[in-house]
Amino acid sequence: KNQVEQSPQSLIILEGKNCTLQCNYTVSPFSNLRWYKQDTGRGPVSLTIMTFSENTKSNGRYTATLDADTKQSSLHITASQLSDSASYICVVSGLTGGGNKLTFGTGTQLKVEL
Amino acid sequence: GAGVSQTPSNKVTEKGKYVELRCDPISGHTALYWYRQSLGQGPEFLIYFQGTGAADDSGLPNDRFFAVRPEGSVSTLKIQRTERGDSAVYLCASSSIGAYTDTQYFGPGTRLTVL
């Protein structure tokens, strides 16, 4: 069964600090990996998308890495802000069927405090 | 519209009732997806439309769930004989053409509570 596992489950950091979130997946065949940010009560918002040939992708203070050989990804957040408090979800797309069927992880709940 | 919209935002119903959840995708997007998110979990795929047709409905949990997109824009997710286990947030997303690397834009979701 295709799976996406994330760690840590939750994380509390002080404003201005950096943090790194981890993702391991078993989805095969692999198409691409995405990181989404989901605020409480809102739908997920896309941060990055990486195909198997891409090792890193940045979006402002967010930098995602991908190692397709070990099936691992990380999301690094630099100089955290209070507004970064949210759930960060790793999402993997496999090459199955038509379109883009996504497999979601359970997310890392990040809280940024003063 | 500017983004994906979903109505209602909240729906409370009694066990055994029928419910309809509506999704308005971004204008011009041909691909539309429905997901279900239980508390503390990531969304789970239900069904994907390419235009008017369901290209992949492998995520629908059973035959009580059905979705339509008759004109290739608005979609309705229909749940018959609701059960308490159906309680969740139902998310809709749309993407430009449904390519593997398309960004999926999500709506705010409909929170369904079955009493």
Q: Which of A41, A43, A95 minimises the CB distance to B107?
A: A43
What pLDDT, on the 0 to 100 scale, is given for residue A112?
A: 97
Using only C-alpha atoms, chain A has a radius of gyration, in whole angstroms, of 14
- B103 contacts on A by Cβ (under 8 Å): 46, 49
Is-contact A82 A15, C-beta < 8 A? yes
What pLDDT, on the 0 to 100 scale, is given for residue A97?
A: 57
- B91 contacts on A by Cβ (under 8 Å): 43-44
In DSSP notation, chain A reads ---EEEE-SEEEEETT--EEEEEEE--SSEEEEEEEEE-TTS--EEEEEEETT-SEEEETTEEEEEETTTTEEEEEE-S--GGG-EEEEEEEEES-SSS--EEE---EEEEEE-
Of B59, B37, B78, give the one whose Cα is nearest residue A38. Answer: B37
Task: Name the token pair of A4.
Answer: 């996406």
Q: A31 and B42: CB-CB below 8 Å?
A: no
Segment B1-30, tens digit of pLDDT: 579 999 999 999 999 999 999 999 999 999
Query: In the structure, what pLDDT confidence band is assigned to residue A98 with cuts at 50, 70 and 90?
Result: low
What is the nearest CA distance from A44 to chain B, expressed in angstroms? 6
B43 touches chain A (CB under 8 A): yes
Sign of the CA dihedral running B83, A4, B23, B90: positive
Alpha carbon dihedral B78, A37, A81, A66, in 10-degree steps, equals 170
Best residue of A36, A102, A103, A108 to probe chain B, by most B CBs closer than 10 Å: A102
Of B13, B91, B79, B70, give the one whose Cα is nearest residue A38. Answer: B91
Residue B32 burial (CB count, 10 A): 30
Q: Which of B95, B98, B109 minimises the CB distance to A98?
A: B98
Query: In the structure, what pLDDT confidence band is assigned to residue A30 with cuts at 50, 70 and 90?
Result: confident
Q: A93 and B40: CB-CB below 8 Å?
A: no
What pLDDT, on the 0 to 100 scale, is given for residue A41?
A: 87
Among A18-32, A89-103, B13-27, which is the least confidently predicted range? A89-103
Determine the Cα–Cα distance for residues A67 and A61; give it in Å rounded to an integer.
20
Q: B98 and A45: CB-CB below 8 Å?
A: no
Helix (H), strand (E) at residue B93: strand B88-95
Of B10, B11, B12, B5, give the one whose Cα is nearest residue B26. Answer: B5
What mean pLDDT comes out for the span A27-46? 90
Q: Which residues of chain B have pLDDT under 70?
A: 1
Segment A44-88, tens digit of pLDDT: 999 999 998 899 999 999 999 999 999 999 999 999 999 999 999
Determine the Cα–Cα distance for residues A81 and A60; give it in Å rounded to an integer.
12
What pLDDT, on the 0 to 100 scale, is given for residue B1?
A: 52
